[in-house]
Chains A and B, each alone.
Chain A
């Protein structure tokens, strides 16, 4: 009888200790209660993953809290989005995404959120879609491309990654502006697209400077144009589509989002601290090692970018549906 009482007391003790150990510190100032989590709707190893990890390794000392990066690629990214929606609205769980699964999916099918439900907290980085060809290709410039496409409409093939992905959309925009058409060979992603161009199975491709860089340097690929306002630092000799007369500016941003209900002060706090963190020398060094183009952005400017992107994407989609 005595033995079982002692055992029971020990059990209660262990239980309470574990409850204390694993519960958040109630009433603690943000963000002291628990770790900050960045949820990514893609698999490990991708561009958003790497960009998040750059932030996660420099920011903790600025926010005085651990930052964990968690990848949840299930259900085409919707699992990650739903997960963040179900968390308490305290600012500890943020969605880190580009506009693919987040905006495009919402525009093309039914999802259980509205764009206004989400507030952009901080932009970590940006990747600029780049059109490229195999170095042996007869197409030496965008001009050649447009000429060849107009001469024989639908004869050229291009691999822009996944359907309606961040490299695919600027392609559609470009085709509308230039009045050309070609066959889009949808692939499982950037890797397959690059492999097809390298193997000369398709004529053109669209991908990002971070992954194209080594192959451009080695002379296997030639970049024709980039879809940003200004030339990309990693590819200084490649003209922007805008310079060439086509207003195709659609960089893929990587932004942290908070779901509705998160207190504004928390959002502002994170925005400020993260901006500070990414402006340090160590952050810039880490980012350049990892081929990440840091573009810290927050507040009203970021909100504007968010809304502008939604509008651009709606327009592009409307043209696809025609």
Chain B
């Protein structure tokens, strides 16, 4: 108990708080720049880990991680361009909410649900790491494959009645994800003879291109201008500076409580998926979005600016922040790139992550836990102050804003890997995105297909290797069967319910 008190004392020392706050501020900014995300910021900090006091450097890295997870939603909501991959699901409803004149509500909802989801997963990490990790260990290739199938089904939930186009989009995503190399053997495939594509199509340029560049193309194409002139009466959709009414965009406790269910769904989903080694924050965000829609009282509002549709993915992605450390702290097995970087930082501080970590390094780990919790509140404070500013900025005229964001997006993408092929991918993805949007294909399924494709293929092949000649090996797991059954139930129920609701609206 004494150690806990000393730890609290350490954690609340001025320099730790300052470093954490700095980390949060940097993280939110990095996250908001499309193309950059928290892992770059954290990787840059590694050399300084032994130069500053351990609690300070860990605090700063935690700040950057949490801040960037939320920061991605700022551009996602304001410009329809996810600042980080994890915010891709937030674009669905977030951007529509902004176009409807509610950027502040959307941004604040994103912030509050992010913080709530994050606190939830930090508490689970602190008190339930070992039991959760043991549960997560039950996920082998067979179970992961079933999970990915479940996630793919959720793609149809994102298609709003355009099931065929949604599936097509998802398949395009799967194909793009398959380019580069075979996930098991590393042999090059589908790289069109371009050596630089050997590592595959990179996530950042693809994402930024599909969302940002396509937006730019659409905004400046002749057709768009005609549409704009036609919709001159509905200027609310454009949201020029003068027409934005801040009074109609105020956040209130009532709104917060109305999205609470979606937030909690996101928190639980994000924590569970975050604890699985290998599953990522964007997967968590999309699954949270899909589940929130399924259990929402107003599923028809999703895709049209529903605040629940912002709360769920944001809670989901931030809930992976604490959960991603569960396998690392329990077994020393990093479940994500960021966990690996944190693991390296801990190792350089002389702390070996694993089952004996807590007992051998009680003080510093307790300090870390306390920092994890209060970092969320710092995030809340700093971002809350900056948000109204962002909300106003986002409502400036799109014809000035989008080129500026495009320039930042381009720089951010190049900065992340110093790779020229990324710029080509960015531009081609942009054209692809514009073509898809013009023809009514949803972009969400493409992103999800791209993200889970390689993992799904690897899980299937690993399962087949282990199963050998056993034809039914894929079904020999209660977790897998549970997931398949859930998939079928959701697929049937949601399509029926959704169709009923749209029929009603007709």
Is the CB–CB distance between A183 and B465 below 8 Å?
yes
5 A-B residue contacts at CB 8 Å? A53-B46, A75-B197, A157-B466, A195-B277, A214-B356
Task: Identify the 6 closest CB pairs spanning chains A and B, nearest first.
Answer: A214-B354, A201-B140, A199-B137, A45-B340, A289-B350, A45-B344
Question: How far in angstroms is the closest Cβ of chain B from A158?
Answer: 10
- B458 on the A face (CB < 8 A): yes
- Among A71, A163, A200, which residue has its beta carbon within 8 angstroms of that of B184? A163
Contact status of A45 and B337, CB under 8 A, knowing A188-B458, A201-B141, A215-B355: yes
Q: In the complex the two chains form, what is the Cα distance from A54 to B278 in whole Å?
A: 28
Q: Please, what's the 1-or-0 string for B114-157, where 1 marks a CB less than 8 Å from any CB in chain A?
A: 00000000000000000000000111110000000000000000
- B352 on the A face (CB < 8 A): yes
- A261 on the B face (CB < 8 A): no
Residues of chain B contacted by A68 (CB below 8 angstroms): 47
Contact status of A220 and B355, CB under 8 A, knowing A50-B344, A78-B195: yes
- B415 on the A face (CB < 8 A): no
- Among A50, A75, A290, which residue has its beta carbon within 8 angstroms of that of B199? A75
8 Å CB contacts to A: which residues of B207-250?
Answer: none
- Among A154, A163, A200, A214, which residue has its beta carbon within 8 angstroms of that of B352? A214
Is the CB–CB distance between A196 and B140 below 8 Å?
yes
8 Å CB contacts to B: which residues of A191-234?
Answer: 191-192, 194-196, 198-202, 211, 213-215, 217-218, 220
Is the CB–CB distance between B337 and A43 below 8 Å?
yes
- Among A46, A76, A199, A289, which residue has its beta carbon within 8 angstroms of that of B139? A199
Question: How far in angstroms is the closest Cβ of chain A from B181?
Answer: 7
8 Å CB contacts to B: which residues of A215-261?
Answer: 215, 217-218, 220
Is the CB–CB distance between B333 and A195 below 8 Å?
yes
Is the CB–CB distance between B465 and A184 below 8 Å?
yes
- A69 on the B face (CB < 8 A): yes
Q: In the complex the two chains form, what is the Cα distance from A69 to B44 in whole Å?
A: 10
Is the CB–CB distance between B198 and A75 below 8 Å?
yes
Is the CB–CB distance between A191 and B334 below 8 Å?
yes
- Among B199, B344, B349, which residue has its beta carbon within 8 angstroms of that of A74? B199
Is the CB–CB distance between B196 and A75 below 8 Å?
yes
- A187 on the B face (CB < 8 A): yes
Residues of chain B contacted by A133 (CB below 8 angstroms): none
Residues of chain A contacted by B353 (CB below 8 angstroms): 214
- A13 on the B face (CB < 8 A): no
Is the CB–CB distance between A195 and B198 below 8 Å?
no
- B341 on the A face (CB < 8 A): yes
Question: How far in angstroms is the closest Cβ of chain B from A161?
Answer: 12
**Chain B residue nearest in CB terms to A194:** B333
Q: In the complex the two chains form, what is the Cα distance from A195 to B181 in whole Å?
A: 24
Is the CB–CB distance between A45 and B465 below 8 Å?
no
- A57 on the B face (CB < 8 A): yes
- B462 on the A face (CB < 8 A): yes
Is the CB–CB distance between B43 and A44 below 8 Å?
yes
Question: How far in angstroms is the closest Cβ of chain A from B291?
Answer: 25
- Among A44, A183, A214, which residue has its beta carbon within 8 angstroms of that of B355? A214
Please count how many residues in chain A sit with their CB below 8 Å of the partner chain's CB atoms: 52
**Chain A residue nearest in CB terms to B340:** A45
Residues of chain A contacted by B458 (CB below 8 angstroms): 188
Is the CB–CB distance between A76 and B198 below 8 Å?
yes
**Chain A residue nearest in CB terms to B186:** A163
- A317 on the B face (CB < 8 A): no
- B437 on the A face (CB < 8 A): no
Is the CB–CB distance between B198 and A188 below 8 Å?
no
Residues of chain A contacted by B419 (CB below 8 angstroms): 74, 79
Q: Please, what's the 1-or-0 string for B38-52, where 1 marks a CB less than 8 Å from any CB in chain A?
A: 010011001100100
Is the CB–CB distance between A78 and B333 below 8 Å?
no
- A126 on the B face (CB < 8 A): no
Is the CB–CB distance between A44 and B465 below 8 Å?
no
Residues of chain B contacted by A290 (CB below 8 angstroms): 347-348, 350
- B382 on the A face (CB < 8 A): no
- Among B138, B198, B343, B462, which residue has its beta carbon within 8 angstroms of that of A45? B343
Q: In the complex the two chains form, what is the Cα distance from A160 to B281 in whole Å?
A: 27
- Among A71, A154, A218, which residue has its beta carbon within 8 angstroms of that of B356? A218
- A291 on the B face (CB < 8 A): yes
Q: In the complex the two chains form, what is the Cα distance from A9 to B243 in whole Å?
A: 46
Residues of chain B contacted by A202 (CB below 8 angstroms): 140, 466
- B417 on the A face (CB < 8 A): yes
- A49 on the B face (CB < 8 A): yes
- A56 on the B face (CB < 8 A): yes
- B187 on the A face (CB < 8 A): yes
**Chain A residue nearest in CB terms to B187:** A109
Q: In the complex the two chains form, what is the Cα distance from A214 to B50 in whole Å?
A: 22
Is the CB–CB distance between B352 and A185 below 8 Å?
no
**Chain B residue nearest in CB terms to A187:** B462
Is the CB–CB distance between B140 and A199 below 8 Å?
yes
Q: In the complex the two chains form, what is the Cα distance from A290 to B350 in whole Å?
A: 6
Is the CB–CB distance between B277 and A191 below 8 Å?
yes
Q: In the complex the two chains form, what is the Cα distance from A109 to B198 in whole Å?
A: 12
**Chain B residue nearest in CB terms to A73:** B199
**Chain A residue nearest in CB terms to B183:** A188
Contact status of A50 and B347, CB under 8 A, knowing A44-B341, A214-B332, A214-B355: yes
- Among B138, B195, B337, B340, which residue has its beta carbon within 8 angstroms of that of A199? B138
Contact status of A109 and B188, CB under 8 A, knowing A44-B46, A75-B195, A78-B195: yes
**Chain B residue nearest in CB terms to A190:** B333
- B185 on the A face (CB < 8 A): yes
Q: Please, what's the 1-or-0 string for A54-80, where 1 marks a CB less than 8 Å from any CB in chain B?
A: 001100000000001101111110110
